[in-house]
Amino acid sequence: MPWDSHLAVSKTIELITNRGMVRIRSYCPPDFLGSLEFDEGIGVLPGYRSMIRDIQGLVEVARDRNSNVVIAYAGGRIVGYIAFSNPSPLGRWGREGGGVLYELGAIEVSRGWRRFGIASEMVRLALDNDFLENKIVFYTGFSWHWDLEWSGLSKLQYRKMVVKLFQPHGFKPYYTTEPNINLDFVNIFMARIGSRVSEEERERFMGMLLGED
C-alpha cells in the first residue's frame, strides 16, 4: 500500500554532537529517504550486518502507510534510523495482536556516530506521538543483530545497554515463550503500553506473551 500521511505528523529536531549537527526527522516519506545515502558505518561490515543494509530497504518500509521511519542525518547521509510498522501477520504478534500491537522493528546508529545520544533522541522523537497511546509498542532484541565487535561489550552488557536505552521512554522487559526470543538467554522482549489501551487488550497481550489463545 502506498505511503500515506493520514497518521503522519512529521517533526524534526536538531542535535549538536562532537561531529557536528544532526537532524532527526520522523515520518520520513520514501522520496526524501531516496535522496539520501547511508553513512559508511551502516551496511555489511566485518563481523556485523545491519538489519536494514541499504537505502532501498528503508524506502520499502516507508512505503507502508502505517509505518514510521525516523532517521538521523547529516550532510546528506543517514547516520541512524528507527523503523516502526505493523507486525507481520505471519508471526505471533501480527496474527493475534488485533491491530493494537505496533513493532519497533529496527534501530541502528552508524558506527562513527555512536555514543552521542542519537539513539535516545530518535526514540524520544518517535514516541512523541499521541497515536501511540492507543498502541502496545514492542521491540525484540536478538543478540545476533548486536554489534558486539565494535562495542567491545559482552552479550549481557549489550543487553543492559538496550534496556537502559528504552526504559526511560516507558518500555519494560517482558517474559515470553516466543521461540526465537528463547534461542539465547540474553535476547529481550520489551514493550510500552499506551495510556489508552484497554484493560481487555492488556490482558490479551499478557496471554499472547505466554502463547495463550
Split at pLDDT 50, 70, 90, the class of 95 is confident
CA dihedral 46, 143, 71, 75 (to 10 degrees): -20
CATH number of 12-209: 3.40.630.30
Helix, strand, coil percent values for the chain (each to nearest 5): 35, 25, 40
Structure confidence at residue 96 (pLDDT): 72
Split at pLDDT 50, 70, 90, the class of 81 is very high
pLDDT in tens, 25-68: 999 999 999 999 999 999 888 788 888 989 999 999 999 988 99
User: For the packed helices 118-127 and 155-166, what is the interaxial angle rounded to 10 degrees?
Assistant: 40
C-alpha grid cell, residue 141: 532484541
Q: pTM for the complete prediction?
A: 0.92
Domain spans of the chain, in order of start: 12-209
Q: Residue 203, Cα to own-chain centre: how many angstroms?
A: 24
